[in-house]
Amino acid sequence: MSVGDAWVKCMRAAVIGLGVIVAMGSAMPDAMAQAGKPIKIVAFGDSLTAGYMLAPSEAFPVVLGKALQGRGHAVEVINAGVSGDTTSAGRDRLGWAVPADADAVILELGANDGLRGLDPAAAKRNLEAIIQALTAQKAVILLAGMRAPRSMGDTYTTAFDAIFPELAAKYGLVLYPLFIEATALKPSLSLADGLHPNAKGVEAIVAGILPDVEAVIARVTARRGQPAKG
């Protein structure tokens, strides 16, 4: 190889190396900014999420956010609960209720469908449409399950109860099988209606769901390329 050829080869290598550095440099600010942002979690649900008959500070999203921050997680938890929402109503407001930059969504809908005896197949379609939309915007989803009242009969309850594990398995979601597991049939943790949690009930729900929310946070941090806490 001549001196000229060697010089050309060295110059080519330098140009390629410079291109790599420039490409890395242009990506680094975005990556660093993403790493420094709190994880935005949207609690998207009905009255169980919204905090029916509770002070704003006692609502599930607020209590969850404080619990996560107390465990060292940099998070922002947004209350996107609306009392009375069915899966259909949630589907209708999804576009404006969940911001496009949400890192994760706790999807808690279905209780009102079950209480009203609405078609389980329709509820499943609505939830699946919500899941598909959230997946398209790259949000990590925690699906909070619900069970139909036993008074609806075996056929109805079997179809309804299967919605949540089936969708979680199909889309690889984090599943919390029963959102009100900690408070169901426990008067000391419920309001007078026997359905909604009181302030202590919300704390019990948060304590139960916390490990699954941390699993969601781990998925978000993995996407960001950050080491997960702990």
Which residues are catalytic, by number? 47, 193, 196
**Residue 6 dihedral angles phi and psi, to the nearest 5°:** -65, -40
The CA-CA-CA angle for residues 191, 127, 160, to 5°, reads 65
DSSP string, 55-121: -GGGSHHHHHHHHHHHTT--EEEEEEE-TT--HHHHHHHHHHHS-TT-SEEEEE--HHHHHHT--HH
Please write down the long-range contacts of 203-206, taking CB distance under 8 Å and 24 or more positions apart: 203/63, 205/60, 205/179, 205/180, 205/181, 206/60, 206/63, 206/64, 206/67
CA angle 110, 175, 216 (to 5 degrees): 120
